[in-house]
Amino acid sequence: CYRASIWASVFLVATGLFAGSLTGLFTSLPTALVITIAGLALLGTIAASLSTALAEEAHRIPAVVTLVTTASGMALWGIGSAFWGLVLGLLALLAQHFLTPSKA
């Protein structure tokens, strides 16, 4: 673990030293390619987050409502979809909690 942190530090310092060159490289690439690279880099994070969000059956519908609303890109009254995703997901969770009969 110690050796990995040393190598990570070396890599980060090298990246910082060549940040100007890397910025020039990425600005010279086509926008679609940069977006594709960023999307591929985030696939693992997205997969892990979806797996966690959908793992518990009781919270699947609110999780999907949150995801779909946020991914829609909608904006109401100048407020972005991330906020509305949280609001609608919370409302779906509350509705599911209070409107479904308990199994007691």
pTM for the full model?
A: 0.52
In eight-state DSSP terms, residue 54 is T
Instruction: Kindly tell me if the per-residue pLDDT of 1 is higher than 80.
Output: no
| Cβ atoms of 81 and 69 closer than 8 Å | yes
4-20 residue pLDDT tens: 888 899 999 998 998 88
3-class SS of residue 6: helix
pLDDT in tens, 22-57: 888 888 889 899 899 888 998 888 888 888 877 877
Helices (H), the chain: 2-17, 19-28, 31-53, 60-72, 81-99
